[in-house]
Chain A
Amino acid sequence: MTTLTIAFTLNGVPTSVAIDPADRLLDTLRYTLALTGTKEGCGEGECGACTVYLDGLPVNSCLVPTYQVRGRRVETVEALDPRALAPFERAGATQCGACTPGVVMTAMWVRAHRELLTTHTIRELMAGNLCRCTGYDGIVDSIQTVLGERV
Chain B
Amino acid sequence: MQRREGLAKLTGRERYVDDLPLENFLWGMTVRSPAPRGRIAAVRFAEEVDWSQFVVVDHRDIPGPNVVALIEQDQPVLASGYVRHMQEPVLLVAHPSRDEARRAARAITVVVEPEPPVLDFRVPPRPDQIQYGPDNVFKRLKIEKGDVERALREAPVVVEGVYETGAQEHVYLETQGMIAWLEDDVLVVKGSMQCPYYVLTALKHALGRDESRVRVIQTPTGGGFGGKEEYPSTIALHAALLALKAGRPVKLIYDRPEDMAATTKRHPSQVRHRTGLTADGRLLAQDIEVLLDGGAYGTLSPVVLSRGLIHAAGPYACENVRIRGCAMFTNAVPFGAFRGFGAPQTLFACERHMDVIARTLGLDPVELRRRNLIRDGQSTATGQVIRDGTDRVAVLERALALSGYREKQRAHAAFNAAERAKRRGTGLATFYHGAGFTGGGEVGLSSRLQVAGRADGRVEVLSANIEMGQGTLTVFTQIAADRLGLATDDVVIGEADTARVPNSGPTVASRTTMVVGRLIERAADDLRHRLGLDEGARGAVVKQAIARWHQEHPGQRLLGEAVYERPPGISWDEERYQGDAYGAFAWAAYVAEVEVDLRTYVTRVIDFVAVQEVGKVVNETLARGQIQGGVVQGIGWALMEECKFKDGSMINNQLTNYLIPTADDVPPIRVAFLETPYPHGAQGAKGLGELPIDGPAPAIVNAVAAATGADPRVIPLTPERLMELVQGQAGVGAPVNAKCGVRNAE
Q: Are chains A and B native binding partners rather than an unrelated pairing?
A: yes
What is the chain B residue whose CB lies nearest that of A36? B19
* B15→A36 contact, CB < 8 A: yes
Known: A85-B7, A95-B625, A99-B173. A130 touches B221 (CB 8 A): no
* B621→A91 contact, CB < 8 A: yes
B280 within 8 A of A: no
CB-contact partner of B654 in A46, A85, A95, A136, under 8 A: A46
Write out the residue numbers on chain B whose beta carbons fall within 8 Å of the beta carbon of A132: 170-173, 223, 225, 629, 633, 660
Write out the residue numbers on chain B whose beta carbons fall within 8 Å of the beta carbon of A65: none
CA–CA, A130 and B9, complex, Å: 16
Write out the residue numbers on chain A whose beta carbons fall within 8 Å of the beta carbon of B2: 89-90
Interface residues of B (CB under 8 A from A): 2-3, 5-16, 18-19, 21, 170-175, 220-225, 255-257, 468-471, 621-622, 624-625, 627-633, 654-656, 660, 662-666, 668-669
* A137→B173 contact, CB < 8 A: no
Give 15 A-B contacts (CB < 8 Å), ordered by A residue. A30-B19, A40-B255, A41-B655, A85-B10, A85-B11, A89-B6, A92-B3, A97-B10, A128-B662, A131-B173, A132-B629, A134-B625, A136-B666, A137-B625, A139-B663
* A46→B656 contact, CB < 8 A: yes
CB-contact partner of A78 in B12, B175, B621, B664, under 8 A: B12
* A102 CB, nearest partner CB in chain B, Å: 9
* A135→B632 contact, CB < 8 A: yes
What is the chain B residue whose CB lies nearest that of A89? B6
* B190 CB, nearest partner CB in chain A, Å: 15
4 closest Cβ pairs, A-B complex:
A37-B12, A96-B469, A98-B222, A97-B9
Known: A46-B656, A123-B663, A135-B666. A77 touches B621 (CB 8 A): no
Total residue contacts A-B, CB cutoff 8 A: 178
Write out the residue numbers on chain B whose beta carbons fall within 8 Å of the beta carbon of A66: none
- Other 5 A-B pairs with CB < 8 A, given A98-B16, A135-B669, A137-B628: A95-B470, A101-B12, A131-B173, A132-B225, A138-B621
* B173→A96 contact, CB < 8 A: yes
Known: A37-B12, A136-B632. A43 touches B255 (CB 8 A): yes
CA–CA, A122 and B14, complex, Å: 26
Write out the residue numbers on chain B whose beta carbons fall within 8 Å of the beta carbon of A137: 624-625, 628, 668-669
* A48 CB, nearest partner CB in chain B, Å: 9
CB-contact partner of B468 in A41, A43, A96, A126, under 8 A: A96
Write out the residue numbers on chain A whose beta carbons fall within 8 Å of the beta carbon of B170: 132
CB-contact partner of B471 in A47, A88, A95, A135, under 8 A: A95
What is the chain B residue whose CB lies nearest that of A103? B10
Q: Which of A118-151 contact B (CB under 8 A)?
A: 121-124, 126-140
Interface size class of A (residues with CB under 8 A): 35 or more
**Which one of A49, A78, A131, A135 has the greatest number of beta carbons of chain B within 10 Å?**
A135
* A15 CB, nearest partner CB in chain B, Å: 18
* B172→A37 contact, CB < 8 A: no
A74 within 8 A of B: no
* A56 CB, nearest partner CB in chain B, Å: 19
Write out the residue numbers on chain A whose beta carbons fall within 8 Å of the beta carbon of B225: 132
Write out the residue numbers on chain B whose beta carbons fall within 8 Å of the beta carbon of A99: 173
* B660→A34 contact, CB < 8 A: no
Write out the residue numbers on chain B whose beta carbons fall within 8 Å of the beta carbon of A39: 12, 16, 173-174, 222
* B6→A94 contact, CB < 8 A: yes
A93 within 8 A of B: yes
A12 within 8 A of B: no
**Which one of B170, B256, B469 has the greatest number of beta carbons of chain A within 10 Å?**
B469
* A135→B664 contact, CB < 8 A: no
A61 within 8 A of B: no
Write out the residue numbers on chain B whose beta carbons fall within 8 Å of the beta carbon of A47: 173, 655
Write out the residue numbers on chain B whose beta carbons fall within 8 Å of the beta carbon of A34: 21
* A46→B663 contact, CB < 8 A: no
CA–CA, A117 and B40, complex, Å: 59
* A3 CB, nearest partner CB in chain B, Å: 13
CA–CA, A78 and B8, complex, Å: 11
* A97→B664 contact, CB < 8 A: no
Write out the residue numbers on chain A whose beta carbons fall within 8 Å of the beta carbon of B5: 97
Known: A96-B221, A98-B223. A104 touches B625 (CB 8 A): no
* A42→B6 contact, CB < 8 A: no
CB-contact partner of B256 in A41, A134, A139, under 8 A: A41
* A42 CB, nearest partner CB in chain B, Å: 4
**Which one of B630, B655, B663 has the greatest number of beta carbons of chain A within 10 Å?**
B663
Write out the residue numbers on chain A whose beta carbons fall within 8 Å of the beta carbon of B221: 96
* B173→A130 contact, CB < 8 A: yes
What is the chain A residue whose CB lies nearest that of B256? A42
CB-contact partner of B662 in A91, A94, A127, A138, under 8 A: A127
Known: A132-B223, A135-B631. A76 touches B663 (CB 8 A): no
A80 within 8 A of B: yes
Write out the residue numbers on chain B whose beta carbons fall within 8 Å of the beta carbon of A37: 11-13
What is the chain A residue whose CB lies nearest that of B174? A98
Known: A98-B172, A133-B629, A136-B632. A42 touches B654 (CB 8 A): yes
* A101 CB, nearest partner CB in chain B, Å: 4
A55 within 8 A of B: no
Write out the residue numbers on chain A whose beta carbons fall within 8 Å of the beta carbon of B175: 40-41
* B664→A123 contact, CB < 8 A: yes
* B12→A138 contact, CB < 8 A: no
